[in-house]
Chains A and B, each alone.
Chain A
Amino acid sequence: MSFDRPKEILKPVKRRIILLSFMLAILFELLPLPDGAQAWLPDFTGLLVLYWVINQPRRVGVGTSFIVGILADIASAGLFGQHALAYSVTSFLALLRQRQLIMFNLGQQALSVMALMFINQFIMVVARMAAGSAFVGWSYFLPPLTGALLWPLITKLLLLPYRNLND
Chain B
Amino acid sequence: MDFANNPSFIRQGPSPAARLALCAVLSVALLVSDSQFGLMERARQGLSVVFYPLQRAVNLPVTLARDVGDFFTTQASLQTENNSLRNRHLAMAARLSRLETLERDYDALRRQNQFKSVRHDAGELAEVLYTGRDPFSYKIIIDKGEDAHLRPGQPVVDDQGLIGQITRVQPLTAEVTLVIDKTLMIPVMLQRTGARAILYGYGGGVEVRYLPVHADVQQGDLLVTSGIDGLYPEGLPVARVSRVERNGDTAFIRMVIVPVAGVQRGRYVMVLEEKSHVPARPAEPVAPVQKTKKKSAEDEDN
Contacts and interface: CB of A to CB of B under 8 A. Distances in A.
Contacts of B2: 6, 8-10
Interface of A: 6, 8-10, 12-13, 27, 30-32, 55-58, 61-63, 65-66, 69-70, 74-75, 79-82, 84-85, 88-89, 92, 95-96, 99, 102, 127, 130-132
A58 B12 contact: yes
B58 A81 contact: no
Contacts of B26: 66, 81, 84
Contact of A89 (B24, B33, B55): B24
- 8 closest Cβ pairs, A-B complex: A81-B30, A131-B35, A85-B27, A88-B23, A80-B34, A81-B27, A62-B19, A92-B20
A11 to B, nearest CB: 10
A88 B42 CA distance: 24
B44 interface: yes
B23 A84 contact: yes
Given A85-B31, A99-B5, A62 B20 contact: yes
| Chain A interface main SS type | helix
Given A81-B31, A82-B27, A127-B31, 15 more contacts: A9-B2, A13-B4, A27-B58, A58-B3, A61-B16, A63-B23, A66-B27, A74-B47, A74-B48, A74-B51, A79-B31, A81-B30, A81-B34, A84-B26, A102-B4
A62 B4 contact: no
6 contacts: A27-B58, A32-B59, A69-B27, A70-B30, A81-B34, A85-B24
A65 B47 CA distance: 18
B58 A31 contact: yes
